[in-house]
């Protein structure tokens, strides 16, 4: 039976009347347990997937670390010994001293006084200044 509120009279309720009855127990829906179980299964599946991803990540990191270590070992093995460095310096010094004798100029050649290149007489543009065609132009 419904009670229609009377708009004319204000309703005064005591706090005791408003207090919830301790005997009231909320109804438990059977589907709620199923959903809860499904959530648990999904959570466990997520954990399994996370564990797989973590293992894959660890494997990839270990592989990268091993490759890095291999590269470092290769660099160390390729490092020059002190004696080799000294030998290279000696070779460079010998190249810089130019111990090679220059050949004498042939009769059909001249040295341009501008670019100092040895050219054939056919390239001579100015006999008095001894300039080649490239420099005279």
Chain segment 86-113, per-residue pLDDT in tens: 888 888 887 777 656 667 888 899 999 9
Please answer whether residues 132 and 119 qualify as being in contact, where contact means their C-beta atoms are separated by less than 8 angstroms: yes
pLDDT of residue 99: 59
Could you tell me the residue ranges of all domains in the chain? 29-97, 107-137
Residue 49 is classified by DSSP as: H
Which of 15-19, 68-72, 108-112 is predicted most confidently? 108-112
């Amino acid at each position: 039976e419904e009670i229609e509120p009377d708009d004319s009279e204000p309703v005064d309720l005591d706090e005791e009347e408003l207090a919830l009855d301790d005997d009231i127990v909320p109804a438990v829906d059977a589907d709620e347990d199923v959903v809860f179980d499904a959530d648990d299964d999904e959570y466990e599946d997520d954990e399994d997937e996370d564990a797989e991803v973590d293992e894959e990540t660890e494997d990839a990191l270990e592989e990268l670390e091993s490759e890095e270590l291999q590269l470092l070992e290769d660099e160390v093995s390729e490092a020059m010994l002190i004696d080799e460095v000294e030998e290279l310096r000696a070779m460079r010094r010998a190249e810089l001293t130019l111990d090679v004798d220059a050949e004498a100029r042939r009769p059909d050649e001249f040295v341009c006084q501008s670019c100092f290149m040895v050219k054939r007489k056919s390239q001579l543009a100015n006999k008095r200044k001894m300039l080649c065609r490239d420099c005279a132009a």
